[in-house]
């Protein structure tokens, strides 16, 4: 089940990057791919929720996607990293881990 969540995080990350490169939907092919990737992410999350608690799945999906997109932006897209942004990403990841430990999520 956690592989579905990982796939959803990957799909959401790809979707966000495609959305950025769609230039405000001016590049319709990239915009369409972004929408498909977001749809794929939602579908994978819906499947994961059949066997995992929403209190574990949603934070991993939302926070994982956020952390991935921020890390890619800082590493490969020339966005300023800086201490506050880097610390923010680390806190998101730490929050996800703590939520799952507190929930006793299976597989964590």
Instruction: Give the domain ranges of the chain.
Output: 2-103
Q: Which band of pLDDT confidence, cut at 50, 70 and 90, is reported for residue 105?
A: low
d(CA 60, CA 8): 10
Higher pLDDT, 101 or 7: 7
Tokens of 10: 């990957």
Q: What mean pLDDT value characterizes the chain?
A: 92
pLDDT computed for residue 15 by the predictor: 98
More confident residue, 92 or 45: 45
Q: Encode burial over 2-17: b for 16+ CB neighbours within 10 A, e otherwise.
A: bebbebbbbbbbbbbb
Predicted confidence at residue 107, as pLDDT, reads 57
State how far the Cα of 53 lies from the Cα of 36, in Å rounded to an integer: 25
């Amino acid at each position: 089940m956690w592989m579905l969540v990982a796939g959803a995080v990957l799909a959401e990350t790809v979707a966000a990057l495609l959305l950025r490169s769609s230039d405000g939907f001016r590049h319709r092919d990239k915009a369409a791919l972004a929408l498909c990737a977001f749809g794929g992410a939602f579908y994978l999350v819906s499947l994961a929720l059949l066997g995992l608690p929403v209190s574990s799945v949603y934070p991993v999906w939302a926070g994982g996607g956020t952390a991935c997109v921020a890390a890619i932006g800082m590493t490969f897209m020339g966005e300023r990293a800086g201490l506050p942004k880097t610390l923010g990403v680390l806190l998101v990841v730490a929050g996800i881990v703590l939520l799952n430990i507190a929930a006793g999520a299976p597989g964590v």
